[in-house]
């Protein structure tokens, strides 16, 4: 057996060369090619010991052929030239018999992308299973010493991608990602959080593990409180599961068709406009699409070829822009935006402890779990607290409380933001901890 000591990903030149080859072989009137490849590894641990190690290599080549307004896609996971040729032919055969697309748009012309490179950390891409295991072993040792059961994952990924079409569009990049997730349990107490970075050395394994062990111990023997509307301090990890719901729903078509909290309607309930430019949220809420943020350093384009550059999404509490697909932009005489991703919300120089110290009475929420729609039109959602929920009194964490179910309008939540902490990265979002003046809890739950 031979152990690979370096990633076997296609280089950007190799990826673009393969895209060019597919385009040259195509017999369709137009063709779009999207290539992605990744090498990932994951160590899973539970009850303070490693329980699983996984390594996976992925390759996917998707070819979309066009004949007039008819199109179809076919994919392969093989690099073999014959498999690729068969995939090209299959997409062409399907495209010839496909129905015409009523929302057809022409192939994208060549784009201008930001002159920067997403971060590719060589040490992360080549991290050995042994070193990864030693890192997890250190986390498990801390849990064992504290008398808690620790579980979670440590994962790394190196990826490359490229795309192109018969109109001359070309794009490629590559990057790395590392992620750590940890749950601590003791008796009837628990805690959880996670962090993401482009380099494994940036993950705060020891400090985060220590913090979560302390929170799990403090969360034992929770008291029950009456469900009501309370001020809430959200840990950044909890807020990272709520804010994206708002940004995902800043969709121009849904707003213009009256299906969104961003819709403006007349007295008969008929949509007449959208709410871009209205003061809807707290002036503290500043959200950007910012792939070049120092904690992210992500790619310069989306999978459809549109540019992923900086955009002001919410400024001083005012939504500045909606997301326009190419089709809806064409219908409305606008420029397509691409997705409003990745999400970055500005914070402050305060810590989460500072927010707690400034709170006379309220609840500290460590995690927002199982968030689901109640009413997409108003963006009211339901969900539960989990893994460490605490009562705040006179600026201090007084005692743990039983978990609560919430029913909450998320636009109202952003309207009631009155304090922010420093930002951290969770997945592909960068958000602060947040204090909200009023948040509605509807019942006590049995979630742990």
Is the entire prediction scored with pTM above 0.85? yes
Tens of pLDDT, residue by residue over 180-220, are 999 999 999 999 999 999 999 999 999 999 999 999 999 99
**pLDDT confidence tier of residue 83, bands split at 50, 70 and 90:** very high
Per the prediction, the chain carries an average pLDDT of 96
Tens of pLDDT, residue by residue over 6-59, are 446 899 999 999 999 999 999 999 999 999 999 999 999 999 999 999 999 999
CATH number of this structure's domain 12-206: 3.30.2290.10
Angle between helices 81-97 and 12-25 (to 10 degrees): 50
Nearest-angstrom CA–CA distance, 32 and 166: 7
Instruction: Write the CB contacts of 421 (distance below 8 Å, at least 6 apart in sequence).
Output: 236, 347, 348, 350, 351, 352, 354, 355, 432, 433, 434
DSSP per-residue codes, 176-198: EEEEEEEEEEETTEEEEEEEEES
Residue 8: its pLDDT value, please? 62
Tens of pLDDT, residue by residue over 357-406, are 999 999 999 999 999 999 999 999 999 999 999 999 999 999 999 999 99
Tell me where in the chain the CATH 3.30.2290.10 domain(s) lie. Answer: 12-206
Tens of pLDDT, residue by residue over 277-323, are 999 999 999 999 999 999 999 999 999 999 999 999 999 999 999 99
**Alpha-helical runs (H) found in 98-128:** 122-125
* Cβ(380)–Cβ(408) below 8 Å: yes
């Amino acid at each position: 057996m031979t152990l690979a000591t370096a990633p076997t990903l296609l280089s950007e030149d190799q990826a673009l060369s393969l895209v060019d080859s597919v385009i040259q072989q195509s017999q369709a009137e137009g063709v779009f090619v999207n290539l992605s490849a990744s090498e990932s590894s994951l160590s899973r641990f539970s009850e303070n010991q490693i329980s699983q190690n996984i390594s996976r290599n992925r390759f996917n080549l998707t070819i979309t052929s066009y004949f007039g307004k008819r199109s179809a896609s076919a994919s392969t996971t093989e690099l073999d030239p014959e498999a690729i040729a068969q995939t090209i032919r299959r997409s062409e055969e399907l495209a010839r018999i496909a129905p015409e697309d009523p929302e057809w748009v022409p192939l994208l012309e060549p784009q201008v992308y930001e002159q920067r490179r997403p971060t590719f950390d060589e040490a992360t891409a080549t991290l050995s299973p042994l070193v990864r295991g030693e890192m997890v072993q250190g986390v498990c040792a801390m849990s064992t010493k504290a008398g808690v059961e620790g579980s979670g994952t440590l994962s790394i990924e190196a990826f490359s991608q490229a795309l192109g079409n018969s109109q001359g569009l070309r794009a490629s990049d590559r990057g790395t990602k590392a992620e750590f997730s940890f749950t601590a349990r003791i008796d009837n107490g628990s805690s959880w959080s996670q962090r993401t970075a482009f380099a494994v050395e940036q993950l705060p394994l020891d400090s985060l593990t220590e913090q979560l062990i302390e929170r799990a111990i403090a969360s034992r023997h929770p008291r029950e409180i009456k469900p009501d509307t309370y001020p809430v301090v959200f840990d950044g990890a909890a807020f990272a599961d709520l804010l994206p719901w708002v940004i995902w729903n800043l969709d121009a078509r849904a707003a213009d068709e009256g299906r969104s909290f961003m819709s403006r309607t007349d007295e008969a309930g008929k949509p007449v406009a959208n709410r871009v430019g209205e003061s809807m949220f707290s002036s503290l809420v500043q959200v950007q699409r910012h792939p070049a943020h120092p904690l992210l350093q992500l790619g310069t384009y989306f999978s459809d070829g549109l540019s992923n550059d900086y955009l002001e999404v919410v400024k001083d509490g005012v939504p500045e822009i909606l997301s326009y697909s190419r089709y809806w932009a064409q219908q409305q005489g606008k420029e397509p935006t691409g997705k409003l991703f990745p999400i970055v919300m500005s914070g402050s120089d305060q810590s989460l402890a500072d927010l707690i110290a400034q709170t006379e009475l309220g609840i500290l929420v460590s995690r927002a779990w199982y968030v689901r729609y109640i009413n997409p039109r108003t963006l009211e959602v339901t969900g539960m607290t989990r893994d460490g929920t605490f009562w705040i009194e006179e600026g201090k964490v007084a005692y743990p409380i039983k978990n609560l179910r919430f029913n909450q309008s998320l636009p109202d939540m952003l309207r009631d933001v009155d304090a922010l902490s420093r930002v951290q990265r969770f997945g592909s979002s960068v958000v602060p901890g947040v204090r909200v003046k009023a948040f509605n809890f509807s019942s006590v739950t049995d979630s742990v």
